[in-house]
Amino acid sequence: MLDNELIFLSEPGGAVRGKLRVPGDKSISHRAIMLGSIAEGASEINGFLEGEDALATLQAFRAMGVQIEGPDNGRVNIQGVGLGGLKAPHAPLYLGNSGTSMRLLAGLLAAQPFNLTLSGDASLSKRPMNRVVEPLRQMGAVIESAANGRPPLHIKGGQKLRGLDYRLPMASAQVKSCLLLAGLYAEGTTCVTEPAPTRDHSERMLRGLGWPLEVQGRQIRLQGGHRLRGSAIDIAADISSAAFFMVAASIADGSDVLLEQVGINPTRDGVIRILRLMGADITLENPRELCGEPVADIRVRSAKLHGIDIPEELVPLAIDEFPVLFIAAACASGCTVLRGAAELRVKESDRIQVMADGLKTLGVSATPTEDGMHIEGGTIGGGEVWAHGDHRIAMSFAVAALRASRPIRIHDCANVATSFPGFVDLAQQAGMRIEVEGNL
């Protein structure tokens, strides 16, 4: 083991039971910090995810002169500076492993009056940013990148942005949100048309803080020239984090878990819909709204899953949950087929190839394709798999051990803290047999 390597050792068996509260939604946490910082007046955030990705966003705004207190048990207080109140940072804004931070900040900062640089760790520095850089340039931004559109991004200040009518070539909430945030500073109307629905947290929060926008089908329009008002923002538990326990409870005999106050936004509920199509026993209890976002307590009991052809219209609604859905497919009877998910190849890792490699190591028939995977369900063995620094890969293989015949040793797990601090403790509390080797 390398000196700085963190390994999960997941023993076979166990069941998942009890009431669990997973951390706050990462996507909403990012947006709450960003919009609260450029709003006028104070915002109090509750349920903020204290993971490395969201903290990178928070630190970026502190570096630009925003007064932020916390986080303290999920509570953050922000004194917003308004759209024009950000100050030039003294150094490049380092965003760690957070692709969300970089893509959304590229839009929000494209029209600031100062020059700045967005940088990240080795993994983020390999991820393509042209999908946001090119349309931002069409709006009038001046952005330079490393080879092939990769970070760091150097943004030249003092540019006047123009509204853009842009049709997304592939469904991406990050690209959509980037352009909407740039549109706050642009002259005229910014219009984004999606090929398929994606998460709409940006739209909901913009409206909640007082910025009018128009949504017609898959087209979102907003005009520059308005203001955001500080507000109280309560953040639901993250459905992407809850997904690991949804799959865990579905595949492990004797499981019965209640996941409390989970966001069930209809642009994010693909994991529930896909698991139900596979035969999962999932019920939504006490549905309600929290700051404009639908939430519910999610009850999941063990069930016999079967393979399906995953409907392509559900792919954008579950894009972050496919690593653990591949584990569900490996435990299901029959074949599961995923198509239309090419975006998985440009996440924190190539999630199609990395998951296929790991599943094959565990004895599962997994055939990667250009935009998806064919998985033949069956028995899961054990062995050594590599997460390649991808938090969702690491947690997914930890879940797989519930049905494994031998231990699964998962290398390169340190980045789990980017989205799910406390995952191991909560998994142990729920009944999973997981230990950590190295420094958590």
Catalytic residue among 53, 200, 238, 320: 320
Handedness of CA 69, 71, 77, 78 (dihedral sign): positive
Closest listed residue to residue 114, CA positions, set 173, 174, 65, 55: 65
Q: Give how far Cα 171 sits from Cα of 139, 193, 195, 221, Å.
A: 20, 9, 6, 16
CB 111 within 8 A of CB 185: yes
CB 110 within 8 A of CB 138: no
Q: Examine the residue annotation and report whether 200 is marked as an active-site residue of this protein.
A: no
Beta bridge partners of 221: 191, 214
| 69: helix, strand or coil | strand
Strand order in the sheet with 434-437: 383-386, 408-411, 7-10, 434-437
Pairwise CA distance, residues 420 & 53, whole Å: 10
Whether omega for the bond prior to residue 152 falls within 30 degrees of 0, making it cis, is yes
Q: In sequence order, which residues have a C-beta less than 8 Å from that of residue 355 and are 6 or more positions away?
A: 322, 323, 326, 366, 373, 393, 396
| 193: helix, strand or coil | strand
What residues act catalytically? 320
